[in-house]
Structure 1
Amino acid sequence: MSDERGARLTRGGTQFAVWAPDATGLTLCLFDAQGEERQYPMAREGDVWRAAVRGVGAGQRYGFRAEGPWNPAQGFCFDPSKLLVDPWARAIDRPFVHDPRLGERGVDTAALVPKAVVEKPLPDVRKAPVHFRPGGLIYELNVRGFTMLHPDVPEAQRGTVAALAHPAVIAHLRKLHVSAIELMPIVAWIDERHLPPLGLRNAWGYNPVVPMPLDPRLCPGGMAELRATVARLHRAGIGVILDLVFNHSGESDRQGATLSMRGLGERCYYALAPDGSLINDAGTGNVLNAAAPDVRALKLASLRHFVRQAGVDGFRFDLATVLAREPGFNPQAPIFGEIAADPWLGDRLMIAEPWDVGPGGYQLGNFPDGWLEWNDRYRDDVRRFWRGDGSIGTLATRMAGSADIFGKPSRSVNFLAAHDGFTLADTVAYAAKHNEANGEGNRDGHDDNLSWNNGIEGPTDDPSVNARRQADLRALLATLFASTGAVMLTAGDEFGRTQHGNNNAYAQDNALSWVDWAGRDRALEDFTAALSAARAADPEVFALFPEPGRWLRPDGAEMTVSDWEAPEADGFVYEAPLPDGRLFRLSVDRTGRRVFVDIVRK
């Protein structure tokens, strides 16, 4: 299916098209600078409604109104009082702001909803190889939180995509030998409806309305700003991965807002159960209908849009199991083949968060060959080992690429912490979550964090406790950088960022979640940078685990089955020759909190 939806400039005007199979009427609404609304009836061609308007060019603001049956219990939510954002919109004129009236039937929302903007696409970028090497370092960051407190970034630029191109930011990324940055969502989102009454707002962006418009708060310069930032990072040898949310939209459940797809045909755009209720495999109130070709075409067009217009290197998919639900997960789902066959997408880096909250949602290891996958088993097993209740055999399996899950070569994205959960520093300082600031009575967020506090909960002046925490952090980081597969750090974990025990800071758009550049632990930062430099010097060694080799006890004796299973076993040594004649030597010592990789000439 071609990218024919949305607003397309033609000679002398603009062609508008929107998919709405269940609608009985569609109206195109154009808005002038004063907000005056002009309406044009659209003509139906099959399941697509079209209107061609002469004299309309780039910069024109528009929306839709849809007519049809009202039976929410069966997925019919048509209400012509609701102005609807084009699902294929490439830009909007302002951010989404939650208002209870967005979910009230019969209340006109033209003054409340952003308008889509007709855009003239930039010329396609010159396609280049992906800026990411196998086994490289992915650096996950929140665009706003990463630079809001950065002392070298001009205040007016802080919190924006453009700030990522600042020389001081790039210098930090290069110091860490970052292979690619992974941007948490930058597509326009709306706050969950329970947040405004609490005086909170979404800080992460995992609640988009439609998949293409950049959020004006993060990217005020639009696609040109993203494109320039990507180009500058590429010149520094750093790739850019976008975190996209293709599992649900911010319209939420049936008590949520009508902003776009719900008003154009809820039962077409969203997955419904046989009784007409919204399926909630994302835990957010709705999931997009992965089985609908037109919905799938919208997702594919979004991916092409960001590659062609900005030159990004790849994508990370939030709750990626939803991409292939029919309703169960299908590892041969059409979208996988369509991505692989697409000339713009086939060579891009694809990363799955391989789970959702629906039945059979945990699908680690089951995504297509060539896709990378977030490996939460790695996170959990490494934490268990250094907490003291994990085995050396399990640790060795994870460090060697989790072949029990992925086979060889590994497709694992190894990580110790991510945006969701404790920061790395909090993992060794808090035995329990402390999410009171979120206004939900500390009920939100995961309870089982596999964390520990070394005897005192939270900050302390006790030098022995702080020394143990520092040793734990260094052991964890050394384990990560010695492991086979891609590795991921979340911004600030390299220098001890804390969220004071909050493991679900999605609603904390403030200093609690912003990266504290002034208070960073520079010694830990230098330690992390040295680990990354050693890994970057031999990237092929860490992309594929060196084999065959010898597993040894710390005393040099060959490991036996009983050694691997012995609860008192606290370490191992692995030696393997490399093709160039050097010797790879990996050693782990739990008692001494030490992990080493030596690559030496024999």
Structure 2
Amino acid sequence: MTEATAAPNELGPAPDPDVRLGAQVHTDGTTFTLWAPAAERVELALLGPDGAQRNLDLTHTGEYWTGFVAGIGHGQRYGYRVHGPFDPSHGLRFHPSKLLLDPYARAVDGSLDFTSPLIYDSSDGDSAGHVPVGVVVADGAPPPPISRPVPWSETVIYELHTKGFTKLHPDVPEHQRGTYAGLAHPSVINYLTELGVTSVELLPIHHFLTEPAIAARGLPNYWGYNTLNYFAPHGPFSSAGSAGEQVAEFKAMVAAFHAAGIEVILDVVYNHTAEGGFDGPTLSFRGIDNRAYYRLTHGGVTYDVTGTGNSVDTSHPQVRRLVMDSLRYWVEEMGVDGFRFDLAVTLIRNERHEVDTVDHPFLAEVAADPVLGRVKLISEPWDVGPFGYQVGNFGTPWSEWNGKFRDSVRDVWRTSSYGVQDLAYRLSGSSDLYGDDGRYPYASINFVTAHDGFTLRDLVSYDHKHNDANREDNRDGTDDNRSWNCGVEGETDDGGVVALRKRQMANLMTTLVLSTGVPMITAGDECGRTQYGNNNAYCQDSEISWFDWTLPSTWSDHLGLTKQLLALRAAHPALRQWHYFSGQPVVAGGRKDLSWIAPHGGEMTENDWHDGNLRTIGMFLAGDALRGTDAEGNILTDNSFLLVLNATAEEREVVVPDASWAPGYEVVVDTSGSGVTEVEAGARVPLAPRCVVLLRAL
């Protein structure tokens, strides 16, 4: 039976195996294609509005099961029933009573019934009605691209949660708060453009689920690091519905950001899925080909290097195809501008589960892909398995979350670092991590906080985590916070402590924004957002996590400083250089591109670098000639700047460089608020305790 003559709800002949996977809508029906090489039979389950099912056998062609159904199209709900041997000890988990979600579904509808035993393959009962299902989505036009892609050298990333950012926003219509449409609201976008960020990084928006164990505690998975499907935007983030409307609403959001010149980067979780460990629910991948999709040990047990119960096996070519198809879909069809890969080391483990940073085919396929070659790629360069910490080892074209930047900057400002040697590497772009493999300073995604851990305000207000709301007896979350509460644990009315905390926040933000590399700001850190000491708010869909829109006015001083810093960075190439420093002049007779200034006014000596008690340092950035050229090929020039940090608890007298460096200096930023506006060359200047000063050479 051909497509033209097929009767409604009857399967036609299989298409060519090269036809894309998933549900492809035609003018007269829909083609369904599923990869399931070990299956013995595959049924397509078409679901009616009342839950009624019609099951149709797909045709087996090679490793694929395919068929055409006339008379159905956009909005049709569907799933698969996959038949085959059930032998968990050998990794075989086929169970046709489990209604399975298409891994290539463009939209997901319905929720998971956590209380039902039918979601597990240990039960012979039918899981239909208890599990999410796929929705057929017709192709549509992608969002307009951003008019001017943001160069890495100008990028400022703002990490936010789709729901939490607008849940309390007073200008967003109530029914759109916490949704894609809410993020696209003009008031929200205006806030971001006025702040000065160039790129929003959205916590996971691939359709995700709450883990049954978390649901049993009466809590949700709020962050979303528990993906069920890699093509579908998360349905509950849609204000318009989950029968395909979420796709259109997501595209409209991307279009709104692009119109404002803001990029959209997705935090993606290809390292594990929502099916959990060996005893988790059977929802999709496990029932289609458990042995291919997941890393297994002897006895069919999942090999877990993610801490979630399973790990996706990208050593398998078809699993890599799934990941690559998903990435290209989000770029070409959904319009996104980049990805941050959660626990990316899991993706470069080979068939023996060993980390391979050199020859893993996933790295090669990403590097060679023309679609991915035009977007930003950021790895979280670790997982929880053996040799999982790989900061600095991903190579081109990757940028990386620089965990060493976070740790070093936190240690300096809590006065627990050994000298300033490591800080100097972090301030100047971390060439020790990224400078030996052909990458540039933008390989370093600099951050002090992220969604995982304390907020900036909590970092200076708590020595210990306070995660009682998570209902795990405060056992969850890291104990290695590298924080300092400034003398009092938690909120206080002590004016001296509050003032010190605000200065420490200013110091941390200034260090972050003015360091070479790409700064990433966690939403709310610019205006004092607190999680009340919770450093693991993954299950807090509440005021603990939501952005409090009363804070921008309450913390206007810190918000103003952040805006000022980002404006300075945008205006001055000297403050966002995209070549590593050599410590030599760029042009004959010029000043060194970078010089490290000791408190005595001269350049740092070997003794200074090895002084474990030294926590005061200056960084002179020569702007008379910068490495690189402008669009016309001219050598870039800018002002020169002197950045001085005093991370000690005492006032320090420093000597600024003499007139051979600059005739004098204008104070641009001073976190101590000393009121000094100009400094003469060679002058002795008292620096307040715990402060950062940025001076512009006259």
Q: Does 1:312 align with 2:311?
A: no
CA-CA distance at 1:98 after TM superposition: 3.1
1:268 match: 292
1:518-537 to structure 2, matched below 5 A, reads: 518-520=550-552, 521-537=555-571
Q: Structure 2 regions of 5+ residues with no counterpart?
A: 1-16, 584-593, 626-636, 649-688
| 2:108 is the alignment partner of 1:89 | no
Q: Residue type of the partner of 2:318? A: D
| 1:566 CA drift (Å) | 1.6
Distance across 2 between alignment mates of 1:163 and 1:482: 31
Among 141, 146, 170, the alignment partner of 1:123 is 141
Query: Residue in 2 aligned with 1:153?
Result: 172
Out of 560-569 and 263-272, give the one that drifted further.
560-569
> Which of 467, 482, 491 lines up with 2:514 in the alignment?
482
> Does 109-118 or 50-59 show the bigger shift?
50-59
Matched, 1:503 2:529: no
Matched, 1:362 2:459: no
The equivalent residue for 2:656 is none
Q: What is the aligned counterpart of 2:481 among 449, 452, 456?
A: 449
Q: Following the alignment from structure 1 to structure 2, what is the Cα–Cα distance between the partners of residues 518 and 571? A: 36
Superposition deviation, residue 335 in structure 1: 2.1
Q: Distance in 1 between matches of 2:111 and 2:381?
A: 30
CA contact (8 A) 2:160 2:200 kept: yes
Q: After superposition, give the CA deviation of every residue in 1:390-410 in whole Å (9 maximum; x if it has no partner).
A: 121111111111111111522
SS at match of 1:7: strand
Query: Are 1:29 and 2:45 counterparts?
Result: yes
Cα deviation per residue 1:458-500 (whole Å; 9 max; x = unaligned)? 0011111111111111111110011000000110011111111
Report the Cα offset of residue 124 of structure 1.
4.3
Q: Partner letter of residue 267 of structure 2?
A: D
Between structure 1 and structure 2, the one with the greater Rg is 2
Q: Using the alignment, how far apart are the partners of 1:97 and 1:176 within structure 2?
A: 42
| Alignment partner, residue 386 of structure 1 | 413
Q: Residue deviations 1:258-293, cap 9 Å, x none?
A: 100001121111111244321101110101111111
Of 422, 429, 432, the match for 1:404? 432
Q: Take 2:331 and 2:18, find their aligned partners in 1: how far apart are those partners?
A: 16
Q: Secondary structure at the match of 1:551?
A: strand
Work out whether 1:55 is the aligned partner of 2:66: no
TM-score (normalised: structure 2): 0.83
Q: Is the 8 A contact 2:25 2:139 kept in 1?
A: no
Match of 2:365 among 338, 341, 353: 338
Alignment of 1:411-490 (within 5 A): 411-490=443-522
Q: Deviations over 1:41-99 (max 9, x none)?
A: 11211221112222222221110011111111221111111100000101122344534
Q: Relative to structure 2, which stretch is displaced further, 264-273 or 540-549?
A: 540-549
1:216 aligns with 2:235: yes
> Can you list the C-alpha shifts for 1:349-382, whole angstroms capped at 9, x where unaligned?
0010010001111111111312110011100010
Which of 545, 563, 573 is residue 608 of structure 2 equivalent to? Answer: 563
CA distance in 1, matches of 2:387, 2:643: 37
Q: Distance in 2 between matches of 1:123 and 1:460?
A: 53
Mapped partners of 1:276, 1:199: distance in 2: 31
- Between the aligned partners of 1:590 and 1:61, the Cα distance in structure 2 is 59
The 3 A distance-change label for structure 1 pair 171 and 237 is: same
Post-superposition shift, 1:310?
2.0
Distance 1:344 1:97 in 2: 38
- Structure 2 matches for 1:218-233, cutoff 5 A? 218-219=237-238, 220=241, 221-233=245-257
- Corresponding position of 1:590: 647
Structure 1 residue 374 corresponds to structure 2 residue 408? no
Unaligned runs of 5+ in 1: none
Displacement of 1:240 after TM fit?
0.5
Identity of aligned residues (%): 44
2:341 touches 2:378 (CA, 8 Å); kept in 1?
Answer: yes
> In 1, are the aligned partners of 2:111 and 2:130 still within 8 Å (CA)?
no
Q: Is the 8 A contact 2:574 2:621 kept in 1?
A: no
Q: Does the 8 Å CA contact 2:428/2:516 hold for their aligned counterparts?
A: yes
Alpha-carbon distance in 1 for matches of 2:151, 2:177: 26
Aligned partners of 2:144 and 2:258 also within 8 Å: no
| Larger CA deviation: 217-226 vs 120-129 | 120-129
Q: How many equivalent residue pairs?
A: 601
The residue matched to 1:346 in structure 2 has which SS? Answer: helix
One-letter amino acid matched to 1:92:
V
Residue deviations 1:526-564 (CA, integer Å, cap 9, x gap): 111111111111246413355533222123122111112
Matched letter for residue 474 of structure 1: A
Q: In the alignment, residue 15 of structure 1 is paired with which amino acid? A: T
Whether the 8 Å contact between 1:296 and 1:335 is mirrored in structure 2 is yes
Question: Residue type of the partner of 1:145?
Answer: G
Q: 547-556 or 372-381, which moves further after superposition?
A: 547-556
Code of the residue aligned with 2:642 in structure 1: it is R
Q: 1:166 is matched with which residue?
A: 185
Shift, 1:182, TM fit:
0.2
2:143/2:255 contact within 8 Å kept? no
SS at match of 1:289: coil
Q: Tell me which residue corresponds to 1:256.
A: 280
Q: Which runs of 4+ in 1 moved over 6 A?
A: none
SS of residue matched to 1:66: strand
The one-letter code of the counterpart of 2:607 is S
Q: After superposing the two structures, state which structure 1 stretch, 426-435 or 42-51, moved more.
A: 42-51
Please report how far the alpha carbon of residue 3 of structure 1 lies from its aligned counterpart in structure 2 after TM superposition: 6.5
Moved more, 377-386 or 96-105: 96-105
Structure 2 partner of 1:329: 355
190-199 or 254-263, which deviates more: 190-199
AA partner of residue 305 (structure 1): Y
Q: 3-state SS of the aligned residue for 1:217?
A: helix
Q: Distance in 2 between matches of 1:205 and 1:357?
A: 19
Letter in 2 for 1:330: D
Q: Which has the higher contact order (CA 8 A, sep 6+)?
A: 1
Quote the offset at 1:435 in angstroms.
0.8
Asked whether the 8 Å contact 2:200–2:262 carries over to 1, the reply is yes
Superposed CA RMSD in Å reads 1.8
2:380 aligned residue (347, 353, 356): 353
What per-residue deviation string (whole Å, max 9, x for no partner) do you get for residues 13-41 of structure 1?
22111111222111111012221100111
